[in-house]
Structure 1
Amino acid sequence: MKLLAFRRLLRIQRVAIRYRLDDMVLELPFLPWWLRLVGGLLPWRWLPRKPLDLSRGARIRLALEDLGPIFIKFGQILSTRRDLLPDDIALELAFLQDKVPPFPPEQAVALIEQQLGAKIEQVFSRFEREPLASASVAQVHTAQLKSGEEVVVKVIRPNLEPVIRSDIAWLHILARTAERISADARRLHPAEVVSDYEKTIYDELDLLREAANSSQLRRNFEGSPLLYVPQVYWDWCRPKVLVMERIYGIPVTDLDTLRDQRTDFKALAERGVEIFFTQVFRDSFFHADMHPGNIFVSTRTPWSPQYIAVDCGIVGSLTDEDQDYLARNLIAFFKRDYRKVAQLHIDSGWVPAETKVNDFEAAIRTVCEPIFEKPLKDISFGQVLLRLFQTARRFNMEVQPQLVLLQKTLLNIEGLGRQLYPELDLWTTAQPFLERWMRERVSPGTLLRNAQQHIEQLPHLAQMTRDTLERLSREPQPEARLTVTQPGMANAWPARLIGAVLVAGAAETGLATHSLAAWPAWAMLAGGLYLILRR
């Protein structure tokens, strides 16, 4: 392991020198003078080197491609952090393609047989040794099960874990070094970015997780004309092998073929937006890797087009509170109610409670007013969200991972929608959905369901109160003191204790939503305060 780590370090160093990444590091304004001096004395910087006629973003992208699959994947993840990176670098990293040479079929077959505990011929009546596709952490083969179903078999690259551990270790060292030497680097949270990437890459190595995500997404859209998710064959799924239904669709970027089958592009673009908001707000479970390579279009009903989604290795979810605040934020944004946007950020805890509303409101207005000078159909929904995060970061907002995934997915969906139908007005498409969802939050049916949930918690609350009272009754009481009390005060503490438990339960079960659906919690709060304060 140490030898591998040392060899990887030498490899990283050679690539950094080849693409002049050392020049870029030494040009950083926040670099300490002593480190700049040390960098200038490095031996290779005294040798003649040919100039590179490439932008800094292109040099970083080519270096990551040269360093192999793990760094390519890291560049892809990094490209989603548009709140951290300069635009020119983020745009260049977005061009990173997850195309890498396949590994030998013999290794794939051996790994599949090891995972399944059976020979390929015992499981599949046909297995194509030539891979259908190859990516940074896995490759895909087509096959047919003994029962006749056409499937694809996804298998993790062999011997990937040692390389990942080595690369991640060096990335952590670089991130911690940057944070130690510069306050500006600390503001960009490089260690946090590397940690997010580490979690993502290890999650992708577990294909059972991807299978579970696919099954959940398929169940959410069962029978829907909007989205189809292939079936997972659980009997043949293992941590490093995934077997699922083979789909036949048109890649969403193959516009010529979509035109030939007379696809309704306007409906296709609008349905993409509807799918996104349905996943985020109805299900709180969204496919967070919806780049064009993972999206196809069914050939069955081109006049009413249906999407097909694959590769559910990365998914995101939001809490009820995040859903509520996000919907209200977006509606307030497009109504230019910047005061409400600022207050919602503070109420949600996305920015510190001590943030001055007036200052935050002014910063948001300064950023967003130029955007809204454009026609509404020309406004990028994703860019508005990105500007929001960038502005909030100046007020010490810590962008949560689920919000970063959501921003990335929204940018992908919007870019794809505009590619399919340039006249797509994302806000006009999304506004009715958001407003309908907000109304449903306070509908009688929703209120009754929430009330039922709160009522179901009351037996637990009563048991907790009883246990507390019994524990207090068993504890030795302090010696009585001669004090003058009002009649009944000696027996008031049980009622006050119950009142305190009710207040705590109210805070835990519903007050954080700040909506009408929380009325049982407010009733618990009122009852608790009455028991505490009554004489």
Structure 2
Amino acid sequence: MQKMSRQSKGLSFNRLLKVSGVLLKEYQSFKKFLDLSESEKINSTIPDSFVKTLIQLGPTFIKLGQIISTRPDFIPEEYIHALKVLHDHVPPFTYEEVKRMIEAEFNKDIDRIFRSFDKQPIGAASLSQVHFAVLHDGSQVAVKIQRPHVQKIIQKDLIVLSKLLYVISKVSPKLGRNLNILNAFEQFKAYTMKELDFSLEAKILERFRENFKDWKDVVFPEVYWDYTTSKVLTMQRVSGFRLGEVKSNISAESRKKINKRLIEVEMKMFVTDAFFHADLHPGNIFFRDDGSIAIIDVGMFGELSNEQRDRFLLYWLAVVEKEKIRAFSHLIKMAQKSDSSNEYGFYQRFSEVLDAFYQSDISTRSLTKTYLDIFITGAKFGYIFPGELLLQAKALTTAEALAFTLVPDFQFAQEARPIINRELGHRAEPDEIHRRFKQTFPEWLLLGELPATSIVHSDEEKNKSDNAWVEISKIFAQDLDKRREKENEVRHGEFAVEINESLEKVFNFVTRFAQYPNWHPTYTPNSRVIHVSAKNVFLTPEVVGSVFRLDEIVDGNLLLSNGEIIEFERNKCYKWRAPLSIFLLVDIGTCFTFTDLGNNRTRVHEYFYYIDDPLINFLTYRRWFSKQALVEHIKEELTGVKHIIESKQYNSEDVEYLWENVTEMIRLLTIDDLNEPIKASRPSDFNG
């Protein structure tokens, strides 16, 4: 055992020496490359040699190269181009190894798992390769199999890289800090180890499917969990036209629709979900003649924090509206400063890049490429952006390239703007505003400070946000409709009386709102209410759904309510609900319950309630809306009912059942405050 341990350490040390020597040589070549002229760089074989070296070093370094290719802020464009080979041209492993892996994972012969299995892979990558197969139930699937022994190889190489980078950080601490080497390596390590667990990738695929479950024209493959492990991923086989086949198979009009949908997919990922496919190149997307899109291979994905997502949204809005200072303020808050950071220099160069963007011909203008270029520029001035943002920027550029291929005259910024404005509108939902207000109000109240991200607009700049505010108004309108559906009732004052009269008469008197002004005959400082009138105006046979008009003066405010009956049981329960006329965002109501006490005596209980909502706080602390005031109001109301009934100060029709013989919907037209119908209008009386 000790001998094996010594051998293992010896192999690790030899591997460390080999990797160190090879990478040192490549670093020297890299420095030589940087000294070349632009024309010499184009023809140089140094980047291709670097890629060959990574392939020779094995899967860990191939994966490292793939990650490096997403960081154009660190390496030249020629290296980025050469590293693309690592996505497409990795040598496959043999079918015999595939068969052994599958049979070991499922502990059964491959023929018992699949009816047929293609021996030739359709693609090979650093960690795996993919084969087509058919399950015994006839389902056509794509099977992703992990490379043999790749976990052990990568784990050993990660130890080697960790030691090597530790030495670099000690020998050149300034370089280590400026490039944040150790932190970047830890992220790479965590990302790579997650990628080795295919069951995690399956969950990522399911997450994309969930996010797009309502988009019938966007397809992510279904996972076959019974045939999936940490080393084998079996998923639905999808097909369609490749990007190069689209022009000859799909009409120009259909291509425009597909292209618009593709941008909506990207914006949903980047702006709405903050969870995106980070490698949406032509090999990972299929286009169908019915206008639908199929997306595969979610192994490389990115996820933004809520703050990153929202800053990205604000940054893009500011860039599109030519507000450079606002855009820059959001940009630098997304970056980490190094010891050599130069904010003034970065802003000057940032301003020049945007000016070039604004002045360029609209046909050559690229918002996504400008976004990526600014990240690259930031690194030169000591601003290091998080890997997920670089991944997002590169993914956006790839998506834009796809769109240009589908529709050559496509304008990304123009298509993306209404989507971003709509998303800003969603951020303005009342609940979100309430949350933000609670977060920022204490600082404003005590210190007179606005949030650090706030920038005051000039009058001219305010007009630039008109389109966004149109979307905000739409969201507000939708939210108002949704609030009517809420059911979280809060009781806010109650009282009960016993009346010396039969249950039937008391119930009929109350539900007709008979002599309503006299229920509350005086104005008292306790409840501050004057009853004006109440009229039943629309009856339904079921009673529920019937509507009445209720007029009151409360603390000098005229309250006009169209109350709708929402619960009803004859001689037992009567409950209504209505939007509060002076504050339509809030719904209120009362509920009466009736109990027969025997001996011609009836108990009436009434409680007032509102539908819970953050905005109710604007009312609950008003004196007239306090619980104490509402108790007094109900007490005076029920006491008035008791007095009228017990003193027989009512008309005979006041105690008749209002819905007797109502067999269809009826609208009652009334005179003044009387509940006497002068005409019963039925739906059959009207044409149209």
TM-score, normalised via structure 1 length: 0.71
Deviation at 1:169, TM superposition (A): 2.8
Q: Mark the structure with the bigger radius of gyration.
A: 2
Partner of 2:203 in structure 1?
212
Query: Which residue of the other structure, out of 102, 118, 125, is the alignment partner of 1:128?
Result: 118
Q: Secondary structure at the match of 1:250?
A: coil
CA RMSD of aligned residues (A): 3.9
Distance 1:12 1:258, change over 3 A: farther
For the pair 1:196 / 2:201, whether they are aligned, the reply is no
Deviation at 1:211, TM superposition (A): 0.6
Partner of 2:330 in structure 1?
344
Matches within 5 A, 1:224-235: 224-235=215-226
Q: Secondary structure at the match of 2:383?
A: coil
Matches within 5 A, 1:110-509: 110-182=100-172, 183-184=174-175, 186-252=177-243, 255-256=244-245, 258-262=247-251, 264-298=254-288, 300-301=289-290, 305-345=291-331, 361-393=347-379, 396-442=382-428, 446-448=429-431
Q: Secondary structure at the match of 1:154?
A: strand
- Residue 241 of structure 1 aligns with an amino acid whose one-letter code is V
- Residue 189 of structure 1 aligns with an amino acid whose one-letter code is N
Residues in 2 aligned to 1:76 and 1:348: alpha-carbon distance in whole angstroms: 24
Residues in 2 aligned to 1:414 and 1:61: alpha-carbon distance in whole angstroms: 26
Deviation at 1:513, TM superposition (A): 8.9
Distance 1:236 1:22, change over 3 A: closer
Deviation at 1:157, TM superposition (A): 0.9
Deviation at 1:314, TM superposition (A): 2.5
Matches within 5 A, 1:1-150: 1-6=8-13, 8-9=15-16, 12=19, 21=26, 23-24=28-29, 27=32, 54-150=44-140
Q: Secondary structure at the match of 1:311?
A: coil
CA contact (8 A) 1:4 1:166 kept: no
CA contact (8 A) 1:342 1:361 kept: yes
CA contact (8 A) 1:178 1:186 kept: no
Distance 1:186 1:168, change over 3 A: same
CA contact (8 A) 2:59 2:150 kept: no
Q: Secondary structure at the match of 1:370?
A: helix
Residue-by-residue CA offset, 1:16-70 (whole Å, 9 max, x unaligned): 69xx63642675999xxxxxxxxxxxxxxxxxxxxxx834323222322333333
Residues in 2 aligned to 1:439 and 1:380: alpha-carbon distance in whole angstroms: 25
- Residue 274 of structure 1 aligns with an amino acid whose one-letter code is E
- Residue 221 of structure 1 aligns with an amino acid whose one-letter code is F
Distance 1:163 1:244, change over 3 A: same
Residues in 2 aligned to 1:347 and 1:130: alpha-carbon distance in whole angstroms: 49
* Count of residue pairs brought into register by the alignment: 440
Moved over 6 A (4+): 355-359, 452-455, 511-517
Where does structure 1 lack aligned partners over 5 or more consecutive residues?
Answer: 31-52, 458-501, 528-535
CA contact (8 A) 2:202 2:223 kept: yes
Q: Secondary structure at the match of 1:275?
A: helix
- Residue 401 of structure 2 aligns with an amino acid whose one-letter code is G
Where does structure 2 lack aligned partners over 5 or more consecutive residues?
Answer: 1-7, 36-42, 456-471, 477-612, 622-688
Q: Secondary structure at the match of 2:88?
A: coil
Deviation at 1:217, TM superposition (A): 0.8
Residues in 1 aligned to 2:205 and 2:152: alpha-carbon distance in whole angstroms: 28
Deviation at 1:514, TM superposition (A): 7.0
Distance 1:261 1:114, change over 3 A: same
Higher relative contact order (CA 8 A, sep 6+): 1
- Residue 2 of structure 1 aligns with an amino acid whose one-letter code is K
Residue-by-residue CA offset, 1:468-510 (whole Å, 9 max, x unaligned): xxxxxxxxxxxxxxxxxxxxxxxxxxxxxxxxxx99xx9xxxx
Distance 1:7 1:244, change over 3 A: same
Return the structure number with greater strand share: 2
Distance 1:317 1:238, change over 3 A: same
Residues in 2 aligned to 1:175 and 1:452: alpha-carbon distance in whole angstroms: 44
Residue-by-residue CA offset, 1:385-434 (whole Å, 9 max, x unaligned): 12332344456534223212211211211222223333221111111111
Residues in 1 aligned to 2:329 and 2:139: alpha-carbon distance in whole angstroms: 54
Residues in 1 aligned to 2:229 and 2:273: alpha-carbon distance in whole angstroms: 27
CA contact (8 A) 1:73 1:98 kept: no
Q: Secondary structure at the match of 2:238?
A: coil
Residues in 2 aligned to 1:337 and 1:59: alpha-carbon distance in whole angstroms: 44
Distance 1:333 1:226, change over 3 A: farther
Residue-by-residue CA offset, 1:77-129 (whole Å, 9 max, x unaligned): 10110112233323332343333232222222222222223332333222333
Q: Secondary structure at the match of 1:143?
A: strand
Residues in 2 aligned to 1:365 and 1:513: alpha-carbon distance in whole angstroms: 20
Distance 1:29 1:181, change over 3 A: farther
Deviation at 1:294, TM superposition (A): 1.7
Return the structure number with greater helix share: 1
Residues in 2 aligned to 1:165 and 1:55: alpha-carbon distance in whole angstroms: 31
Deviation at 1:237, TM superposition (A): 1.5
CA contact (8 A) 2:403 2:410 kept: yes
- Residue 376 of structure 2 aligns with an amino acid whose one-letter code is Q
